[in-house]
Chains A and B, each alone.
Chain A
Amino acid sequence: MTAAMLAEAWLAMGANRLRTFLTMLGMVIGVGAVILMLAIGQGTQRQVEESIASMGSNLFIILSGSTTSGGLRMGSGATPTLTLADAQAVEELPAVNAVAPSAPGTAQLVYGSNNWSTQVYGTTPAYLTVRAWTLASGFPFTDSDIRSATRVALLGKTVVDNLFGDEDPVGKTIRIRSSPYVVLGTLAPKGQSLDGRDQDDTVIVPVTTAQRKLFGTQFAGTVRFIMVQAESAEAMPAVEKSINELLRQRHRIREGADNDFSVRNLTALANAAAETAKVMSLMLGAIASISLLVGGIGIMNIMLVSVTERTREIGIRMAIGARGNDILLQFLLEAIIISIVGCLIGVGLGVGGALAVNAFSGMAIVITASSIFLAFAVAAAVGIFFGWYPARKAAAMKPIDALRYQ
């Protein structure tokens, strides 16, 4: 019975190919737009999430504070108020996972005939933990390298590419500001940060080496900032509070006086970015769904025209024994076939479009089975929803009126 109905519906659709195609087009564009927008939205979302993950989780950054000298207020980090001893003290606090004091600077690197200027981080091995960074080859430096301020370095991927090309850098000696450093290992690539910087364009050296031998500091033992990783997201407010208390005490800041340092929660920023990406993804999907709705209305419109046009046919069918439900099923099937076939083409077009966007603009895309399934479910629902009323109208006709219709 249903097979026969399908054949009937197919025949009716074939009778007016252009119209069927145009009706379907509404569905094709709707589904295509949803798939494409979801792919782009989710792609962006994933990219943001990956950037966040590459930054490390549950992070604080402690910056040395601003000073005011002669009415001139300097920015954060202008005075070296943070020391390695501060970092060690913070490490003792409860719920703190890892602490990485950093003394960054820019330096010229030379290997053989190549040279490259890059950001050099003087830090501790904990930096790798905090930033969730792994090594691509070699070994990290150790606490004994920190103690003796040895000239060793870990190179980021961009630095390796620029200095070594295809050569294996591990064990080689490079020059940083003319002094020789042994390359202990290379860092795994991390890609762009949230603000677009190349995170792989970096060199890591022991913090003590940076302080004493590479950049020098105004005051012995000071660092520019300290990165702190809390054990969990839940522990972050408590950790922030205890860092503040500890450092105020250590820096002998009187009650009511301003901090000479500032503690910033990096994770909050990251979460906001992730949230934004998610909202954007939802917005894109929602806007695209409107075209799906418009496609549905197009189906309803054409089905209504079709029912009116075929009133006489409905009358003939009823006269020879079609029940109301037979007529209902026939027109509903037509609407559903248009929806489903339109959806199939739309999925193809959407996926193709997303791949093309990716190929031509490099924009990240994610096509999930769930978004395709969603598009399908919506298309079927649209077909049933918008096909129901015209089909109902056809089925409710009185056979005698339908037969007499001219």
Chain B
Amino acid sequence: MASPAAAVIRIEHLYKEYATDAGPVPVLKDVSVNVMPGEFVAVMGPSGSGKSTFMNILGCLDIATGGRYVLGGRDVGTLNKDELARLRNQVIGFVFQGFNLLPRASLEDNVALPLIYRGTPRSERLARAREMLAKVGLDAYHRSRPNQISGGQQQRVAIARALVTQPTLILADEPTGNLDTATSSEIMALFTELNQRDGITIILVTHEPDIAAYAQRLVRLADGRIIYDGLVEHAAPEHTEATS
């Protein structure tokens, strides 16, 4: 493995606890992990294992209560809200289980949305959006609304939106959770292509072993700790079993 300094993600002794009426509840306990450029990582774990919290912190949507998280050379813990927004905009592309497209906007406007927050001029925004739509094979639908296309197509649009800012990292949270098997494999093929051809780092949360199998590396969480971190094919069967 290359030196940690070149890592896209460097996480050292990360803790996260939530304040509740019954006192603080620890969710992540001493999590340390590095992700190198070009890796394709699957994150698995039963519900309550802390994988959602882990993804939210990775995506700079939530802040850890202890430890260090360095993303693209910047220590996330020292950034303010606006700097976090900037980082999300420039470094990360999100793909969600529920697609999360704006229902009233056309597909091209949806894909172009992240560029608004960069101040990109409209003509360039739309040109880039069309380019990304073409990349996911939906160029013909650029004026359609999200509710006029299928779930698999919506997820492709979401991927196009994640790609439009040319991120170094794509975070996908159960991207195939709402899709049937055939569509799921299409989406996973697209992720694999982005990873292998364009060298984009991908971190993907899933509870399905056959989805996790598309990745090279598996990180398995249980009760807020990493219990396995290694190649997918070397994982013991209990580490890749379906969780829901």
Contacts and interface: CB of A to CB of B under 8 A. Distances in A.
Interface in A311-350: 312-313, 315-326
CB-based closest 4 A-B pairs: A321-B89, A320-B114, A321-B117, A323-B85
Interface residues of B, number: 28
B210 interface: no
- Residue of B81, B82, B118 contacting most chain A CB atoms (<10 Å): B81
Contacts of A325: 82
A4 B116 contact: yes
Interface in B92-138: 94, 96, 100-102, 104-105, 113-114, 116-119, 122, 125
B34 interface: no
Interface of A: 1, 3-5, 8, 11-12, 14-15, 312-313, 315-326, 398-400, 403
B61 interface: yes
Nearest to B116: A4
A327 to B, nearest CB: 10
Contact of A321 (B88, B101, B102, B105): B88
B117 A324 contact: no
Contacts of A324: 81-82, 85
Contact of A399 (B61, B82, B101, B113): B61
B72 to A, nearest CB: 14
A317 B94 CA distance: 11
Contact of A320 (B104, B105, B113): B113
Contacts of A12: 104
A319 B59 contact: yes
Contacts of B90: 321
A194 B95 CA distance: 78
B86 interface: yes
Contacts of A403: 61, 96, 100
Given A1-B116, A403-B100, 12 more contacts: A4-B122, A318-B61, A318-B88, A320-B161, A321-B86, A321-B88, A323-B86, A324-B82, A325-B82, A326-B116, A398-B62, A403-B96
A321 B104 contact: no
24 contacts: A1-B119, A8-B116, A11-B104, A11-B105, A12-B104, A15-B104, A315-B100, A318-B61, A319-B88, A319-B94, A320-B88, A320-B89, A320-B94, A320-B161, A321-B86, A321-B89, A321-B165, A323-B82, A323-B86, A325-B82, A326-B117, A399-B61, A400-B61, A400-B62
A78 to B, nearest CB: 85
Nearest to A321: B89
